Amino acid sequence: MVKAKTANGPRRRGGHRATKLAPRGSLHSGDNFLGLVFTAPAMIGLVIFVAIPILLTLWVSFRDWNGFVSPFDSSYVGLDNYNELLFKPGIRQTDFARSIRNNFYYVVGVVPIQTVLSLVIAVILNQKFLKGKSFFRTAYYFPSITSSIAVTLIFIFMFQSQGAINAVLPFDNINWLNNANGMIHNVLGVFGVDQAPGWAKSVEFMGLSLWEWMAGPSVAMFAIMMLVTWTTTGTMMLIFLAGLQSISPSVEEAATVDGASSFQRFRYVIVPMMRPTIYFVVTLGLIGTWQVFDQIYATNFGGPRKTTITPAFWIYFQSFRNSEAGLAAAIAILLFVIIMFFAFLQRRVNTSKGVT
């Protein structure tokens, strides 16, 4: 606002000021009208396919809708669906808590790893001296454009107890996809803690004991996390590459002249300059990982022992397998709230580091 001293200041910020300076506003209202006309096709599409469905989902989440009749014939149940998911002890609450727990560990595992990995790969592939760059770029991007179901089926074969992964690993064969043990439990087991300590078993939240909350992703979920990291790293790498190419080579050269080592250039020059891109990639990653569905559906359909159910999968299951579309809508709204929460949290963290 300080910069916008004249009426010709950046329109993005000065819209309000501009109308003040030109009280009749005829010129600008004409702009508005034209703008509206030009954006109308996209806006109408957004309203019909995004805004109305979101509002309808919100509306349906307050109703007992079985999904077979028109939603307008369903009955109003107030906050019952939310109550069953969040507060009322019972199977619905426990299952929802499980889906949140599973997905939380999934996000915490996948997002940092895919972000770091893709940034490192992008920086390597952005080196001038590297030969066969386009081959590597294609190779790393390829998983992202392959059908997720096809990739998942290949991974199912690889993770079988007689599969390729076990053939390479030096341990006894692990039945990855049918193993419901939590990874944190497994690690604790190595240190001799294979039973829940009393305090962890007695404290309960949303129907799950603290011990169950801290189970970590199950071995099956861990396998899915590896699969997803492998597929999405390519997409994120592409975004980082685009970001890296917008950094002028002179900046890096200047750092080199100042005597920065290659690691210092990466840590103190590239990473700070890439912060907006990192913010974007992490946001994209957060949203994508909280909505994981295809891989869950194809790998194990939520099993073993419900350790791979996620809110997105549970929406599908409740809506189409259990004919509880109202409950499914409530899960969808809660998932939306969770994603918004993490996106804002992320934004907060990043803004404090100087990204706007």
Partner 1 sequence: MKRLKWAFLLIALALVAAACGGSATTTTTTSGTSAPTEGGDTTSSVAPAMALDGVDLKLWGWSSSEAENTALSDLVGQFNTATGANAEFQPQADYDVALQSAMASGAPPDVFYIDSFKLADLADAGVLAPVPTGALSSPDDIYPSLREAFTFNGTWYCPPKDFSTLALVYDPEALQAAGVDVPTTWEELATAAAALTTGTTAEIAAGDAQAGLAMGVEYPRWGSFLFQAGAALTDEAVTKITLDTPGATDALQFIADQYQAGYFISPADVDAGWAGEAFGQAKSAMTIEGNWIIGYLQDTFPDRNFAVAELPAGPAGKGTFAFTVCYGVAADAPNPDASWAFVEYLTNPEGSLAWTNAFNVMPARASVSNDWIGSHPDLEAFVAGADYAKRWGFIPGFGDVIGVFNDNAAGLVDGSVTVAELIAAVTGAGNDVIDG
Contact positions vs partner 1 (CB under 8 A):
15-16, 19, 29, 32, 36, 43-44, 47-48, 51-52, 55, 66-73, 84, 90-92, 95, 160-163, 172-173, 175, 177-178, 180, 303-306, 317, 319-325
Specify the residue, 67 or 276, whose C-beta has the smaller distance to partner 1. Answer: 67
Q: Which two tokens stand for residue 24?
A: 């009749």
Question: CB neighbours of 345 closer than 8 A, spacing ≥ 6?
Answer: none
Q: Which two tokens stand for residue 276?
A: 């907006």
Given a contact cutoff of 8 angstroms between Cβ atoms, the answer to whether 289 and 228 are in contact is: yes
CB half-sphere exposure, 295, CA atoms < 13 A? 30
Stated as kind and residue range, the H or E segment containing 296 is helix 294-299
Q: Is the dihedral of CA 105, 116, 354, 276 positive or negative?
A: negative
Specify the residue, 196 or 273, whose C-beta has the smaller distance to partner 1. Answer: 196
Specify the residue, 233 or 308, whose C-beta has the smaller distance to partner 1. Answer: 308
d(CA 283, CA 292): 15
Q: Closest distance between partner 1 and the C-beta of residue 19, in Å?
A: 7
Specify the residue, 31 or 247, whose C-beta has the smaller distance to partner 1. Answer: 31
Q: Closest distance between partner 1 and the C-beta of residue 67, in Å?
A: 5
Q: Closest distance between partner 1 and the C-beta of residue 317, in Å?
A: 8
Q: Which two tokens stand for residue 334?
A: 């809660």
Specify the residue, 114 or 307, whose C-beta has the smaller distance to partner 1. Answer: 307
Q: Closest distance between partner 1 and the C-beta of residue 121, in Å?
A: 33
Query: Please, is 178 exposed, middle or buried when counting C-beta atoms within 10 Å of its C-beta (0-12, 13-18, 19+)?
Result: middle
Question: CB neighbours of 289 closer than 8 A, spacing ≥ 6?
Answer: 103, 106, 107, 110, 111, 228
Q: Which two tokens stand for residue 295?
A: 């891989």
Q: Closest distance between partner 1 and the C-beta of residue 229, in Å?
A: 24
Given a contact cutoff of 8 angstroms between Cβ atoms, the answer to whether 298 and 149 are in contact is: yes
Q: Which two tokens stand for residue 314?
A: 């549970």
Specify the residue, 134 or 162, whose C-beta has the smaller distance to partner 1. Answer: 162
Q: Closest distance between partner 1 and the C-beta of residue 250, in Å?
A: 41
Specify the residue, 90 or 112, whose C-beta has the smaller distance to partner 1. Answer: 90
Q: Closest distance between partner 1 and the C-beta of residue 136, in Å?
A: 34
